[in-house]
Amino acid sequence: MPIVRARGLRFSYPEGPDVLEDVNLDVVRGEFVGIAGPNGGGKTTLIRLIVGLEQPTGGELEVFGRPPRQATGSDRIGYLPQRAEIGLSAPITVREVVEAGRVSVAGMFGALAPEDEEAIEEAIERVGLSEKAGERLSRLSGGQRQRAFIAKALAGGPKLLVLDEPTTGVDADAQERLAELLDELRGELGVTVLYVSHEFGAIEPYAERLVVIRRGIVFDGAPSALPGVWHDPSHVHP
């Protein structure tokens, strides 16, 4: 069974045109999928539907075989939204950010159990920030902050990791290191990755599949099938 399954998926805001229409998509376990498209094309809306932040206005959408908001137990989703800037104006540390990602397991008001502490430390270590765990988020580089937010998503033990424009404002070297990290996580943990971006150069060696969205899906296949537009797939026409 696919981890994500959409059939005839549609979304629109009240009294507005469809933002998404007739989207059919399967994402299977262990895939690394890039999702692209122009501004306003619907790619972020699709992600918000998958993680349960919006409700479809038509069609079917299942994540782990259930409606997205019913994904529970070990079927968890790790989500890094656009412009994740929480904590930059507050004296919050890397470890405190990552602890927040364990709430889905430990509960909002529950004390952290030893296994929670272990999961938090492991997530920080996996993204290479063990030596920065006690530092304020505001003192880290852009690439390090993104790693901290990925660790936050990992702390809950997700099977599906969803990243929306994770490299905005991050330099090329940090983008490459982030892409390598995601590929390692997929290989070591079996995490399925959905990666939304305008820039795909850094993940080109790792993404097996590219999905281009302009209200509907206008391309779904290997990146090599898009010669000349891989770095700007928003130009793809149906």
Residues 143-157: tens digit of each pLDDT: 888 889 889 988 888
If one looks up domain 1-75+159-171+190-238 in CATH, what number appears? Answer: 3.40.50.300
Reading the block at residue 216, the tokens are: 């509907």
Residue 231's pLDDT is 54
Which parts of the chain have pLDDT scores under 50?
87
Residue 94's pLDDT is 92
Which residue ranges make up each domain of the chain?
Answer: 1-75+159-171+190-238, 81-158
Residue 173's pLDDT is 84
Q: Quote the mean pLDDT of the chain.
A: 85
Distance set, CA 143 to CA 165, 171, 174 (Å):
13, 8, 5
Percent of the chain residues past pLDDT 70, beyond the cut: 86
Residue 185's pLDDT is 87
Query: What is the full DSSP assignment across 143-163?
Result: HHHHHHHHHHHHTT--SEEEE
Residue 234's pLDDT is 57
